[in-house]
Amino acid sequence: LGRATLGWLVLSLSGSAAATEASVANSVPVVVRTVPMSGDTDVDPALAEIRVTFSKPKSTKDMWSFVYARPAAFPEITGPIRYVDDRTCVMPVRLAPGTTYGTWLNSRGNDAFRDTAGRPAVPYLLLFETR
């Protein structure tokens, strides 16, 4: 089996179409994993960090964008936000029991999570509840 390829159909203003090969390299980054998982309703309040992993390496280890998602609570940050590798960002937190937390990972106007080509990651809502 050869390498699987995908094609995107791109329509220009003149109405003509051209196929462009899609790949991870020329696509925007997306969230591929979070700890805790978005939608989890049984998170241990003793969890000490939120981890976000992206599909591609990030452009810098000093840029991140955790944005308050009202009306959910924003986790209390207990230390510096850092990268543990070129795709995974960690935010140290203190969580309270019985609380709904929410944060946007990138949002309109707050898009510091970017790949090495400068493309912002697709906004992602991380929403979870502690037991």
| Nearest Cα to Cα of residue 130 among 91, 102, 111, 106 | 102
d(CA 31, CA 108): 16
pTM, to two decimals = 0.82
DSSP state of 91: E
Q: Is residue 85 part of a domain?
A: yes
Query: What's the total number of domains in the chain?
Result: 1
6 forms bridges with which residues in the sheet? 22
Q: Is residue 108 part of a domain?
A: yes
The CATH number of the domain where 119 resides is what?
A: 2.60.40.1220
Query: Do the beta carbons of residue 73 and residue 101 sit within 8 Å?
Result: yes
Q: Is residue 91 part of a domain?
A: yes
Residue with tokens 């591929």: 32
Question: 25-40 pLDDT, tens per residue?
Answer: 899 999 999 999 999 9
Q: Is residue 107 part of a domain?
A: yes
Question: 32-64 pLDDT, tens per residue?
Answer: 999 999 999 999 999 999 999 999 998 766 789
Question: 70-127 pLDDT, tens per residue?
Answer: 888 999 999 999 999 999 999 999 999 999 999 999 999 999 999 999 999 999 999 9
Q: Is residue 66 part of a domain?
A: yes
Residue 58 token pair? 């990030």
8 has a pLDDT exceeding 50:
no
Q: Is residue 7 part of a domain?
A: no
In which band, very low, low, confident or very high, does the pLDDT at 12 lie, cut at 50, 70 and 90?
A: very low
* Interacting residues of 1 by C-beta distance below 8 A, sequence separation 6+: none
In which band, very low, low, confident or very high, does the pLDDT at 19 lie, cut at 50, 70 and 90?
A: low
Query: Do the beta carbons of residue 58 and residue 31 sit within 8 Å?
Result: no
In which band, very low, low, confident or very high, does the pLDDT at 14 lie, cut at 50, 70 and 90?
A: very low
Which residues form the domain of 43?
29-129
17 has a pLDDT exceeding 70:
no
Q: Is residue 60 part of a domain?
A: yes
Q: Is residue 5 part of a domain?
A: no
